[in-house]
Chain A
Amino acid sequence: MADKDVLGRAGEARAAAYLRERGYRILDQNWRCRDGEIDLVAAHGGQLVFVEVKTRRGVGFGHPFDAITARKLARLHRLAVAWVVAHPEDAHGRAVRVDALAVLGPDPTTAEIEHIAGLQ
């Protein structure tokens, strides 16, 4: 595994732990389909939360949120629909929400986390 992918996995693990602490139930992780990958899928209250996790060691290449472009966001929404179609029993009766989570710091296990809920 390339170094950047190791960092990405570590960031996603940290993000999952962060969400669990806040009462989210993780339903799926790194779900793949033909269009791409969803980092995390969680259930929170009546909502189904799809989370894009971005991990960076520093802001030398910009803030993690700057890396989520309008195109990526649109794809995330499409992937969310694909996941709902693939998992009708989990999705039933839940509203869909798309979140972004930034993990920023040299060590993902202690890095700072920023969370934006309900992206449009």
Chain B
Amino acid sequence: MTVARTWAVALTGADGALVEVEADQSSQLPGLHIIGLPDKALGEAEQRVRGAAANCALTLPRRRVTVNLSPASLPKQGAGFDVAIAVATLATDGSLDLASLARTVHIGELGLDGRLRPVAGVLPAVLAAARAGVTHAIVPHANQDEARLVSGVHVVGAVTLGDVALWHGADLEPSEVEPVPAVAPPPARASVGDLADVIGQREAVEALIAAAAGGHHMLMCGPPGAGKTMLASRLPGILPDLDDAAALEVTSMRSLSGDGVAALVREPPFESPHHSATVAALVGGGSRVVRPGAIARATNGVLFLDEAAEFAASALDALRQPLETGAITIHRSGVSAAFPARFQLVMATNPCPCGSYGVRGGACVCPPDQVRRYLGKLSGPLLDRVDIELGLRRVSVAQASEAGGHATLSTAEAKQRVLGARSRAAHRLRDTPWSVNARVSGQWLRQGPLALASEARRPLDAALHRGALTLRGYDRVLRVAWTLCDLEGRAAPSLHDVGRALFMKRGIVA
């Protein structure tokens, strides 16, 4: 009779903590007792382990086995601990190689037939195990491609509990069972239209490219049919592909949401929650298991809020803090879960409930107080975090027929300009912790080595004096000015760039 030890992973948010699963026999009547803050699903592991062992021709010890999940104070959820519990229990008889067990992390749910079922969050779990120095991971066959995305860990995809026992040196016949099929990864984004489809709207396309190049948050305001949704859906197409770290983060969020994962996701995510979304749906939540919300799934990509003024004010204001910090921490009893939330916010709204307010030739039928209240939903503090405010007009007949003649910018051309601007920004910011203009600290912009000459700053200073800009807004205009200068390939923003940036922020003509 020995104490057997192996490892599993408890996920809280995007972080995983290694959990030591130890099993000990005592001379009492047969039984399996799981201690160490298991939730209901984990507590039911006993029945699954019994069924799985019996159907894999493995005999559980004929004594009482106590399984301890340590650290005991950390709440543990879900069925992902089944495999670790099963092998630790089986090993108390001494039939498995204890050294092999002690260097392996086990992730997976057991079916009564003994097959390993896929679980959500395998990628972040294996990543956490690798960071903690574990060298071997046994995961369900259906999750093996996902687990292999982590380098430095030897991943084994097991079909049944028998396979796992075999791998740890049990004396068994290998089984010939169909593995539980993997969850199919969601199909690649339904082909996003090309930027060339956008007719007219030169100014808006330029603003979109600036937003993409600098990672700036953007608000589009215009009547129905002006092309707000069309423009926003073209944004991910002109964003650069994700680098390794960002791709791993995005893929981890997909995995935590329960989506199938087969390869690293290289395209920036595009999340467009419906305006009935609650605070929990946007920022993440749940009573016991904390799930990532839309902002966590949009990390390193775009969060698009169509009909932004129709969202609940509380839901919109919940975005303020993650917009500043680039992360969201959700507190629940016993745990606080952190998710990354470095998303680019794009909002689209009508100018009033009927959509015709301020539109040339349109007749708005909304009472004045409703118009005021409609855009008032987008609170000052939220708007202050938006770098580019874009007013859209309907495309006139003249513009449409004119644009029919010569093609506007295509997605491929726009992406080239964005990539060029991003590489210039990255080169300029190479000695700083930032790589995108939108993230650079305001203090560094104002007082750092590349602070603007007072001549170029003139319109900004004037706006600040007039009270038309907050100091935060001032920094945001500076960032957009740098992006515009990166797009043009200039060394430093000119008076013209600052003027344009200020116009994009407030519609103020300097």
Are B62 and A65 neighbours in the complex by a CB distance under 8 Å? yes
Give Cα A68–Cα B62 distance, bound, in whole angstroms.
12
Are B30 and A65 neighbours in the complex by a CB distance under 8 Å? yes
Give Cα A31–Cα B460 distance, bound, in whole angstroms.
100
B31's nearest neighbour on chain A, judged by CB, is: A70
Are A114 and B27 neighbours in the complex by a CB distance under 8 Å? no
CB distance from A66 to the nearest CB of B (A): 6
Give Cα A118–Cα B29 distance, bound, in whole angstroms.
10
Chain B residues numbered 55-86 whose CB sits less than 8 Å from any CB in chain A: 62-63
Give Cα A116–Cα B26 distance, bound, in whole angstroms.
10
- Contact partner of B27 (CB less than 8 A), chosen from A63, A68, A73, A116, is A116
Residues of B within 8 A of A66 (CB): 30
Interface centre among B27, B29, B62, B63 (most CB of A within 10 A): B29
Residues of B within 8 A of A1 (CB): none
Chain A residues numbered 52-106 whose CB sits less than 8 Å from any CB in chain B: 63, 65-66, 68, 73, 100
B333 at the interface (CB under 8 A from A): no
Give Cα A120–Cα B66 distance, bound, in whole angstroms.
15
CB distance from A96 to the nearest CB of B (A): 17
Residues of B within 8 A of A114 (CB): 62
Are B30 and A63 neighbours in the complex by a CB distance under 8 Å? yes
Residues of B within 8 A of A63 (CB): 30, 62
B28 at the interface (CB under 8 A from A): yes
- Contact partner of A118 (CB less than 8 A), chosen from B27, B30, B62, B63, is B27
A117 at the interface (CB under 8 A from B): yes
Interface centre among A63, A116, A117 (most CB of B within 10 A): A116
Contact with A along B44-63 (1 / 0, CB 8 A): 00000000000000000011
Contact with B along A108-120 (1 / 0, CB 8 A): 0000001011111
Give Cα A119–Cα B28 distance, bound, in whole angstroms.
6
Are B29 and A65 neighbours in the complex by a CB distance under 8 Å? yes
Give Cα A117–Cα B28 distance, bound, in whole angstroms.
8
Give Cα A65–Cα B63 distance, bound, in whole angstroms.
9
A59's nearest neighbour on chain B, judged by CB, is: B59
Residues of B within 8 A of A118 (CB): 27
Give Cα A66–Cα B27 distance, bound, in whole angstroms.
14
CB distance from B90 to the nearest CB of A (A): 16
B26's nearest neighbour on chain A, judged by CB, is: A120
6 contacts between A and B (CB under 8 A): A63-B30, A65-B30, A66-B30, A117-B27, A118-B27, A119-B28
Interface residues of A (CB under 8 A from B): 63, 65-66, 68, 73, 100, 114, 116-120
List 3 A-B pairs, minimum CB-CB distance, nearest first: A116-B27, A65-B30, A68-B29
- In addition to A66-B30, A100-B29, A119-B28, 15 A-B residue pairs with Cβ atoms within 8 Å of each other are A63-B30, A63-B62, A65-B29, A65-B30, A65-B62, A68-B29, A73-B29, A114-B62, A116-B27, A116-B28, A116-B63, A117-B27, A118-B27, A119-B29, A120-B28
